[in-house]
Structure 1
């Protein structure tokens, strides 16, 4: 093994340390407030609420839309398990839809077919994830949502900074959009998520519920007592800590720079890996931030991955289709072939390293190893 190229390395420097030092100062202003303000301006949304994680933001969104037992939410079968998980926490039912083979996002024909066959008021909406940083066709999605009168919650965990028709994800037509500052990492320096919306009612409800639905008084000249509080609903602790906000504030300031670097790496991958036997490259249909760079191996994907890891190139899999996971397969009596496009996709996909801390030497090493392993394929 000549060298190692990790799948992901966090970009940390003095900015994070300085923000955290300020947060630790007893007279510091709120880093949470600053992060929320900067985030809403960056996205172009009316409101932004910091949460403890991306999953927390998604769970809070389900609480805000008043999801109840027996309700149904449509989602792509190609998503991180937290998507149906937050639905099940309300004893509601996730309804899976198949995907596109080119961008790995939800197949909008499949979404519309489900909606046309299920006109129940129990079907409240859809959670739409943007795989790897490439948005789905939002013009068509919002048109479908309007015609069928459903809520759209966008899981933009992998799409921070992505745009559609020149506007950032989170500022378009979704009822709520959620983000993660550590999307699906097994190990992270800090957690944190964000819920954004332009809807006054959804914002007020989310803001109330993110800290146990507690309402309290402020100390005032009129004699009001600052320690008096009440609980007016069932909430949970979703809020972000000041230290997490400080770290994530520094990270937010680097988002555009990180996207630019990933785009540079993706361009090198595209140019150098084009025509490599047994390899298919990702198809860019619209703006892509390349949070993930997902290639396809025509056969024996797992042995290909093992060879890369032996050579120091660490890889990932995004995702195992939800209907193949034991809980959902057994709970809803799902069959392996129920979602044929997701199944075919799963058998071939492989995520290779792409992050802002990669040097060009790292990038070309990954390319060299992929080409070498590809030569061994029969």
Structure 2
């Protein structure tokens, strides 16, 4: 029977268990405040607003920007569905842009052309994701945004703990940066997100709307609302639970260690899989934390993935382009060939397992499986 190497497996240590036990015993510091403070301390951002998921953080970002019906937000066609979804919830319009064929991030040449073609008061900004943990060319992105006076929201779900030119993601110049603690898990052990910004107005509005737009003298340490309160807007229920915050804080305290290990694994993959027939390795253009290790298979990607699964190696696909999704295809009359780079990339990419608690033996097993499948691949 083949070994089983999952695509991702959470790394739970005594740090997480002790943090959760402390919450259950109703002792210790406020984990939610501690989590927000940890992000501010590590990134240098002025403000951190915790949420119950990365998607909630993105939606709260749109709320903070006061997005309205008919407004437009540009995003990469190679994004998770949560990105255009949070735009459509306002009856606003996502505008898709093709991708760079090497790092799979948004194509900034195409981005600027789309800006020129759609520039108006209704064009409010862009949500830009960092695929696999490698940021886009942020210096150029910010220069374009300044030229057209639009806001930039970074979906940094894959880039938590990452850097751009040595500066932490979250304080490099975006108006808002959003993170997720479980970007590629359907059934996560715990769930949390984070919104970072430097602007007082964005921070205050996100904080207000995060919990039903309630204004009050506050809550006590058990979460009980004070006697008198008011509701001043239409809000959401996006605050994170204390247990989720405790788990997230424990994970975040070890983020540098996790990144270092993923980079070690990526280096092994780079060495062992270099020159393997049918396989093209990731292109590293900037700081890369390898939240994903995305390879290309030159033909019959699905057959390659099935053969790996037969050997117990589970893989992922990042991403199916949004213009191929039934809702967006029908809503906006999009055609299969509208985004050539994204289409070709989608037909070839495959994400290999890469997570902090993979052993060297498991990594070597994945490498051997890829080599065996490649040798027999048609």
Equivalents in 2 of 1:235, 1:265: separation in Å?
Answer: 43
Question: What does residue 50 of structure 1 align with?
Answer: 50
**Compared with structure 1, are the counterparts of its residues 260 and 155 closer, same or farther at alpha carbon in structure 2 (3 Å cutoff)?**
same
Question: What does residue 243 of structure 1 align with?
Answer: 243
Question: What does residue 115 of structure 2 align with?
Answer: 115
Equivalents in 2 of 1:49, 1:172: separation in Å?
Answer: 17
Instruction: Tell me if structure 1 keeps the 8 A contact 2:2–2:310.
Output: no
Superposition deviation, residue 17 in structure 1: 1.0
Question: What does residue 157 of structure 2 align with?
Answer: 157
Superposition deviation, residue 29 in structure 1: 3.2
Q: For residues 62-77 of structure 1, what are the structure 2 equivalents within 5 Å?
A: 62-77=62-77
**What's the CA shift string for 1:52-73, capped at 9, x where partnerless?**
0000000000000000000000
Equivalents in 1 of 2:230, 2:184: separation in Å?
Answer: 36
Question: What does residue 102 of structure 2 align with?
Answer: 102
Q: For residues 287-366 of structure 1, what are the structure 2 equivalents within 5 Å?
A: 287-366=287-366
Question: What does residue 222 of structure 2 align with?
Answer: none
Question: What does residue 130 of structure 2 align with?
Answer: 130
Counterpart check, 1:21 vs 2:46: no
Question: What does residue 371 of structure 1 align with?
Answer: 371
Superposition deviation, residue 184 in structure 1: 2.7
Q: For residues 121-270 of structure 1, what are the structure 2 equivalents within 5 Å?
A: 121-217=121-217, 226-270=226-270
Superposition deviation, residue 353 in structure 1: 0.4
Question: What does residue 81 of structure 1 align with?
Answer: 81
| Aligned length, in residue pairs | 373
Question: What does residue 35 of structure 1 align with?
Answer: 35
1:230 match: secondary structure: strand
1:125 match: secondary structure: strand
- Segments of structure 1 that go 5 or more residues without pairing to the other structure are 220-224
Equivalents in 2 of 1:233, 1:2: separation in Å?
Answer: 56
Equivalents in 1 of 2:121, 2:47: separation in Å?
Answer: 28
2:315 match: secondary structure: coil
**What's the CA shift string for 1:124-174, capped at 9, x where partnerless?**
000000000000000000000000000000000000011111101101110
TM-score of the superposed pair, with normalisation by structure 1: 0.97
Equivalents in 2 of 1:368, 1:301: separation in Å?
Answer: 18
**Compared with structure 1, are the counterparts of its residues 249 and 281 closer, same or farther at alpha carbon in structure 2 (3 Å cutoff)?**
same
Equivalents in 1 of 2:253, 2:176: separation in Å?
Answer: 23
**What's the CA shift string for 1:240-279, capped at 9, x where partnerless?**
0101001111100111000000000000100110000110
Cα RMSD for the two superposed structures: 1.2
